Structure formats: C-alpha cells, structure tokens
Amino acid sequence: MPELATRALGKVEINPGDMIQFPEGLFGFHEVREFALLMEKGDSPFKWLQSTQRADLAFIVIEPALFLKDPYMPDISASELDQLGVKDLSECSVYTIVTIPKDHPEKMTANLQGPVLINPHKMIGRQVISNDNRHLVRVPILEQMEG
C-alpha cells in the first residue's frame, strides 16, 4: 500500500481504492483533485480529508448527523447530484468542513452552506453550495450538541 506523509497524522498507509477524486477540487483549491478520508484514532467523530498531492493540505470534516439535532438536507440541484453519478442525496456520504480557532477550540464551527458530498461507490467527491438560506457557513458545533 502506498504511504502518504501528512502534517496532521504523520505517515499513513492508503489503499489506492480509498482515494477520492474531486474533478473540480474544493473551493479555493481547484488544482488539488485527489483526497483520502482518514480516521482519527480513538472515538473521535472527526475525520481528515487529506490531499494525496499535498501533505500540508487537509481539512477536518464531520458528518452533520453527529452534531445536529435535526436532519441536515442540503438543497442541491439535480445537476450537482448527476455529476456525482447519483439520483438522490441519500446515495452520498455528506460531510461538513470544520474550522477550529487556534486559541478557542471550543468555538469550532461547521460549514453547512458548503458541504462535501462523496459517492462512496464511485469514489467521486464534490463540494457544493446548499441553496437553503438556513445553512450557514459558521455553525457552532458544541452549541448544537449542547442545546
């Protein structure tokens, strides 16, 4: 198995079948098109969306169902789903990118407006914009879990 050097997790082995292609990259990183979803050790709800091309580029992600009380259904166009090779959002794994302020980790937020969708059968991903104006860019994770 190929080994990938990461800044966050050190060296990790990655099965080539676990690499996710992002044909359009992620917002702000359109040139980076291949990532792997890496698990934290232990019981952490967080995962790392790690670039396989750049060791210094990784995003912390979380499944919205792990911190939101209400079901999260981003409003995604049929053409966005079609580009992932799916007919329905339920066929995708849905993640939100987490931002953790350096000096205040308790104020971490999730981006519900720009979710990352992954077709786990084709290993294709896309970051999309939810057309639901209730889905904000910075939703406090701990407040959602406590409230």
pLDDT in tens, the chain (147 residues): 678 888 888 888 888 888 999 999 999 999 999 999 998 878 889 999 999 999 899 999 999 999 999 999 999 999 999 999 999 999 999 999 999 999 999 999 999 999 999 999 999 999 999 999 999 999 999 888 876
Using CA atoms, how far apart are residues 96 and 8, in angstroms rounded to an integer? 18
Q: Where are the domains of the chain?
A: 3-146
pLDDT of residue 9: 85
> Rounded to 5 degrees, what are φ and ψ at 143?
-60, -40
Whole-model pTM: value is 0.92
**φ, ψ for residue 107 (rounded to 5)?**
-100, 25
Name the nearest CA neighbour of 52 among 95, 93, 6: 6
- CATH class for domain 3-146? mainly beta
Q: Three-class SS string for the chain?
A: CCEEEECCCEEEECCHHHEEECCCCECCECCCCEEEEEECCCCCCCEEEEECCCCCCEEEEECHHHCCCCCCCCCCCHHHHHHHCCCCHHHCEEEEEEECCCCCHHHCEECCCCCEEEECCCCEEEECCCCCCCCCCCEEHHHHHHC
What the block records as the tokens of 106 is: 């308790």
> Phi first, then psi: what are they for 44, rounded to 5°?
-65, 140
pLDDT value of position 6: 86
pLDDT on residue 147 = 60
